[in-house]
Amino acid sequence: MARSHYENFPVASWMLPRSMRPHIAAIYAFARTADDFADEGDVAPQVRLRRLDSWGERLQRSVDSSIGDGAVDGGATPEEAPGDGVDHRAVFLALSNTIRVCRLPVGLFEDLLSAFRQDVGTHRYESWDQLLDYCRRSANPVGRLVLRVAGYDEAALDHASDCFCTALQLTNFWQDLERDHAAGRIYVPAEDRTVCGALESDLAGRRLTPGWQAVLEGVGERTRALFDQGRGVCDGVSGRLAMELRLTWLGGLRILERLEQSRFDVFAQRPALGARDGMVILWRTLTWRRR
């Protein structure tokens, strides 16, 4: 299941140490399924929230079983999307083992669920700080969980990882501006849009106005700064994980570069990584220098 969704960046790829892969896949399966609950647009918000609440309850049972001798209760409940193609019991059996073996803090999973609940009802952000708070709970826990699975627990690495993960998520928001607007979401903060004269009504015309170009270039600069601040996590780990993180960091930065080169005109063409980009990323990985 963890390999069944296309994304810009690999999950549990062959580049990771073999010992990490099942644990990363377990974390991804838990988070991806919860994200799908939140994004079921044809399902009433109240139902989606109940499914997420149920997912959280089963998370707690997994935690309880990981520190005791009880079995994980993975049975289906009426609120959990029957027929979604996901074996919920298998998800929590794997997650319980991962939490126990890797001693993962449950608070990071709870942060993810908090962000997924927010997805159900929040489709606009007033300020940059509000958007960063969302990223703190929706993206940053993933990076910290990867570090914990790999055996790292250092404040400096956590900070760099947070910047890295936030930069990746923000890049995806700018990349998917048109798609998100069609789905009723805008992640560019209202305060920034107001300053630049970027009107929400302009997006309906599928044309990049000067106001929208200015605001996207502004948030793009902030995103690049976060990539720079997050680069250190790629040098703070070793072995195959370092290679995986460098590839992912370079992949995210490449998307941002493509946006910058087009002056953020996602209406003309949504940037995506192709074969040529892959060669650029591979070359930059092989010639990577620590800072």
Which two structure tokens, joined as six digits, stand for 35?
Answer: 């994200």
pLDDT given for residue 66 in this prediction: 61
Single out the residue of 93, 88, 78, 98 nearest to residue 33, CA to CA.
88
pLDDT given for residue 166 in this prediction: 98
pLDDT given for residue 10 in this prediction: 44
| Residue found under tokens 């059996």 | 93
In the 8-state DSSP scheme, what is residue 84?
Answer: S
What mean pLDDT is predicted for residues 57-78? Answer: 65
pLDDT given for residue 264 in this prediction: 97
State residue 40 phi and psi, 5-degree precision: -75, 85
In angstroms and rounded to an integer, the radius of gyration of the C-alpha atoms of the chain is 19
pLDDT given for residue 241 in this prediction: 95
Residue 1, pLDDT above cutoff 50: no
| 254-275 confidence digits (pLDDT tens) | 999 999 999 999 999 999 999 9
| 94-148 confidence digits (pLDDT tens) | 999 999 999 999 999 999 999 999 999 999 999 999 999 999 999 999 999 999 9
Which two structure tokens, joined as six digits, stand for 75?
Answer: 């049975």
Indicate the burial class of 124 (C-beta count within 10 angstroms; 0-12, 13-18, 19 or more): middle
pLDDT given for residue 42 in this prediction: 85
State residue 102 phi and psi, 5-degree precision: -95, -5
**Pair 236, 156: CB distance under 8 Å:** yes
Where is 138: in which H helix or E strand? helix 128-138
Which two structure tokens, joined as six digits, stand for 245?
Answer: 């993180």
Rounded-to-integer distance, Cα 36 and Cα 261, Å: 32
Residue 83, pLDDT above cutoff 60: no
